[in-house]
Structure 1
Amino acid sequence: MKDSTDTTEVINLDLFRSRKQEEKQRKTERIFFHNLVGVYAVIQPGKMVPVDLIDISQEGLAIQVPYQSDRVWPTDSNEVPIRLYFSADSFIEIAVDVKNTRATIDGGVRYLRYGCAVNTEHRAFDAWSKFVGFMHSFSEVSEKDSGNISVGSL
């Protein structure tokens, strides 16, 4: 006869898999953003600054910049152009509205992190949307190269 006071917790494997997939997606995105895409915010005519792209979705993104008390990153404009460079001279530019700001520490360095909404009416939104879709699909099927295959010539 089973004890009715058994309080063993049932683990939801779907929830566990979903969390692991989300962790993998975020890690893959950060590696991709850090190594393959240059991301810049246009802060005034003729001037842009590099920003770290932290998270993306169809509707928004999170960026961060190193905290500098003497030079606060401008957030007073209604729309901030964000450029994603895929080569030295080709980029797509989207427009975002800064919705929230918070201080954070990442790797022992203090940053200001900005949560932004992407302007869905901007001419590059369709390209942005497809880029986000690609990133999500890529993170689901990408594999880590174990180095077990060498490169040779034919």
Structure 2
Amino acid sequence: MSDEGKVINFQAKRSENIEKKRRSFERLLFQNLLGAYTVIDADETVYPVSLVDISHDGCLFQIPWNGKSDKKLPEGHEVKMRMYFTKHSFIPVIVNVRYGNEFKADDGTTYMHYGCEFDKSMPTFKAMEEFINFMYSFAEHSVIDRGDSRAFFL
């Protein structure tokens, strides 16, 4: 087949590139800025979880996992989460577990990945929604600094 008959879908390629930038930005942000803690069980224990992905509809988080002793959260389970943006301040959100899958990291550590849906009826979700919108907008409009230009400050 010749290359003459191929049509390049620039919009699809652009969307793919934006998605890659968004996920890269999320990883950096989740590792360095946004801390997530969750409150699970009747005793209201608070412990850290690692965010993996976030979108307008929900989030994916992971916790270290021992299949022999840890109990998996059931589908539909409500989880209270604290999204920390500073050491002492957070936005409370509620998510509902949609699935849980074991995941083995490159370093051999086993995690449980939980895909969750946001409870958008919570008044505090508005702040999370604005944050998520910023992440999508940043991914679309940001430019990678390749050191190819000089910045001068007055």
Tell me the CA shift for residue 144 of structure 1.
Answer: 4.1
Looking at structure 1, the residues matched to 44 and 150 of structure 2 have their Cα atoms a distance apart, in angstroms, of 46
Aligned length: 148
Contact 1:29–1:139 (8 Å) recurs in 2: no
- Number of the residue aligned with 2:124: 124
Query: 1:35 and 1:113, CA in 2 relative to 1: closer, same or farther beyond 3 A?
Result: same
Looking at structure 2, the residues matched to 134 and 97 of structure 1 have their Cα atoms a distance apart, in angstroms, of 23
- Number of the residue aligned with 1:54: 52
Tell me the CA shift for residue 139 of structure 1.
Answer: 2.0
**How much is the aligned-residue C-alpha RMSD, in angstroms?**
2.6
Q: Which amino acid aligns with 1:15?
A: A
Contact 1:40–1:48 (8 Å) recurs in 2: yes
Looking at structure 1, the residues matched to 71 and 51 of structure 2 have their Cα atoms a distance apart, in angstroms, of 15
Query: 1:74 and 1:122, CA in 2 relative to 1: closer, same or farther beyond 3 A?
Result: farther
Three-state SS of the structure 1 residue aligned to 2:6 is coil
Q: Which amino acid aligns with 1:25?
A: R
Of the structure 1 ranges 26-35 and 44-53, higher mean CA displacement relative to structure 2 is found in 44-53
Contact 2:72–2:100 (8 Å) recurs in 1: no
Contact 2:73–2:100 (8 Å) recurs in 1: no
Looking at structure 1, the residues matched to 105 and 150 of structure 2 have their Cα atoms a distance apart, in angstroms, of 35
Q: Does 1:11 align with 2:11?
A: no
Looking at structure 2, the residues matched to 78 and 35 of structure 1 have their Cα atoms a distance apart, in angstroms, of 28
- Number of the residue aligned with 2:133: 133
Contact 2:99–2:115 (8 Å) recurs in 1: yes
Query: 1:143 and 1:9, CA in 2 relative to 1: closer, same or farther beyond 3 A?
Result: closer
TM-score by length of 2: 0.81
- Number of the residue aligned with 2:103: 104
Query: 1:133 and 1:75, CA in 2 relative to 1: closer, same or farther beyond 3 A?
Result: same
Tell me the CA shift for residue 46 of structure 1.
Answer: 4.3
Greater C-alpha radius of gyration: 1
| % same residue | 35
Q: Does 1:142 align with 2:142?
A: yes
Q: Which amino acid aligns with 2:81?
A: I
TM-score by length of 1: 0.81
